[in-house]
């Protein structure tokens, strides 16, 4: 069953219940691509915010000159991805909020299809689209986020040729915030993104917490975005590598129910050691150890948050386990694709 309803190009679709939130840092050249694709949507009437993380380029001048209808919200200091996302969400007053990285181009029907999926599935807190490589448009960037029992997330289909193997709509564990549409009311119950993560894993963590409360996430392949891929962090390779292991440990402590933690701890440990070895071969072993060290000092914070999160859990352990991806082999696992899964950050 498709999530896509027939679209009549002769009938304008009102989307005044949607706010686009674009995260940007020194991204003038990317804004020149993503903003035209937003305003070329088959739905119109939405609001657009650019949340700028202390850029030093002329992003603000460009937006105010070329797109005066866009609200430009700037931080004076670099506060990180999660704080920017939260600021954008809290500034919006609409039913839906679309979170976008700046290094994207959207298909003209992206919004119509994504919003239609959330309208058809009130149990879904958010919807994810099919992302294709901006430069090789027959190759997948991702088809929804998955999480395995190793507690390692990944983008389904990352790097694969798009042969239609992910053209069936359905549930995914969580959405990638590179190009996702959220039901604003879900934030009132789930809460904001965890600002203590700074960047990376914030969408997995939010999706995990939403699942614990009984929400799901939809994958909508008829909505397509073209992703340039790590266009911001590729300028500073390795700088934020320690955040992956740090945030992974932090999220597991917070979100994983005790029964599953007891059952999965051996494979989580094996996955952690394999990941460390992978980083060592990439020259990032010290960064990985730094991440573990920082996670140690965040344990008490994670445990305090865990008490509230687990006390509010409404789904069974069995239902949560069913949402996890099949157990992968280590050699061809989401672990092997972990570092290719993100955009803006």
Exposure pattern of 20-40 as b/e (b: 16+ CB <10 Å)? bbbbbbbbbebbebbbebbee
Average pLDDT score, the chain: 89
Please give the average per-residue pLDDT across 83-108, as a whole number. Answer: 96
**Confidence band of 179 (pLDDT split at 50, 70, 90):** very high
- Cα dihedral angle (327, 229, 184, 253), rounded to 10 degrees? 40
- Please, are residues 36 and 63 in contact by the beta-carbon 8 Å criterion? no
pLDDT for the residue 5? 54
Answer whether residue 231 shows pLDDT above 90.
no
Global pTM reads 0.89
Spatial distance between the Cα atoms of 128 and 142, rounded to a whole number of angstroms? 10
Q: Look at residue 104 in the predicted model and tell me its pLDDT.
A: 97
Distance separating alpha carbons of residues 284 and 181, to the nearest angstrom = 34
Residue 36 has pLDDT above 60, yes or no: yes
What would the pLDDT profile of 104-132 be if each residue is shown by its tens digit?
A: 999 999 999 999 999 999 999 999 999 99
Residue 8 has pLDDT above 80, yes or no: no
Residue 16 has pLDDT above 60, yes or no: yes
DSSP string, 51-82: EEES--SSHHHHHHHH-TTSEEEEESS---HH
* Domain 15-345 bears CATH identifier 3.40.1650.10: no
Task: Give dist(CA 242, CA 287) in Å, integer.
Answer: 5
pLDDT score of 327: 59
Gap between the Cα atoms of 185 and 207, Å rounded: 14
Q: Which of 244, 214, 220 is nearest to 314 (CA)?
A: 214
Q: Residues 145-172: pLDDT tens digits?
A: 999 999 989 899 999 999 999 999 999 9
pLDDT band at 194; cut points 50, 70, 90: very high
List Cβ neighbours of 204 (8 Å cut-off, separation of 6 or more).
Answer: 145, 147, 153, 173, 174, 251
Per-residue pLDDT at 333 exceeds 50: no
pLDDT surpassing 60 at residue 139: yes
């Amino acid at each position: 069953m498709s999530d896509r309803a027939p679209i009549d190009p002769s009938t304008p679709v009102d989307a005044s219940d949607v706010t686009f939130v674009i995260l940007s840092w020194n991204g003038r050249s990317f804004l020149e691509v993503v903003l035209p694709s937003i305003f070329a949507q088959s739905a119109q009437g939405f609001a657009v915010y650019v949340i700028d993380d202390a850029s030093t380029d002329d992003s603000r001048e460009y937006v105010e000159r070329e797109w005066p209808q866009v609200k430009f919200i700037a931080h004076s200091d670099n506060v990180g991805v999660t704080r920017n996302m939260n600021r954008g969400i809290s500034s919006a007053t609409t039913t839906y909020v679309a979170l976008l990285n700046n290094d994207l181009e959207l298909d003209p029907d992206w919004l119509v299809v994504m919003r239609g999926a959330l309208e058809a599935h009130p149990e879904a807190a958010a919807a994810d689209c099919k992302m294709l490589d901006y430069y090789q448009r027959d190759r997948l960037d991702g088809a929804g986020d998955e999480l395995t029992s190793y507690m390692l997330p990944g983008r389904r289909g990352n790097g694969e040729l798009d042969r239609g193997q992910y053209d069936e709509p359905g549930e995914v564990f969580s959405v990638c915030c590179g190009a996702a549409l959220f039901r604003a009311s879900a934030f009132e119950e789930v809460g904001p993104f965890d600002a203590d993560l700074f960047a990376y894993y914030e969408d997995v963590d939010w999706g995990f917490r939403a699942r614990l409360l009984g929400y799901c996430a939809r994958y909508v392949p008829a909505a397509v975005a073209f992703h340039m891929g790590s266009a911001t962090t590729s300028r500073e390779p390795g700088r934020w590598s320690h955040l992956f292991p740090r945030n992974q440990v932090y999220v597991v402590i917070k979100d994983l129910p005790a029964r599953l933690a007891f059952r999965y701890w051996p494979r989580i440990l094996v996955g952690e050691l394999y990941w460390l070895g992978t980083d060592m071969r990439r020259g990032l072993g010290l960064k990985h150890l730094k991440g573990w060290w920082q996670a140690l000092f965040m344990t008490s914070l994670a445990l305090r948050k865990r008490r509230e999160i687990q006390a509010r859990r409404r789904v069974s352990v069995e239902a949560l386990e069913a949402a996890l991806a099949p157990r992968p082999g280590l050699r061809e696992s989401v672990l092997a694709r972990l570092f290719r899964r993100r955009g803006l950050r």
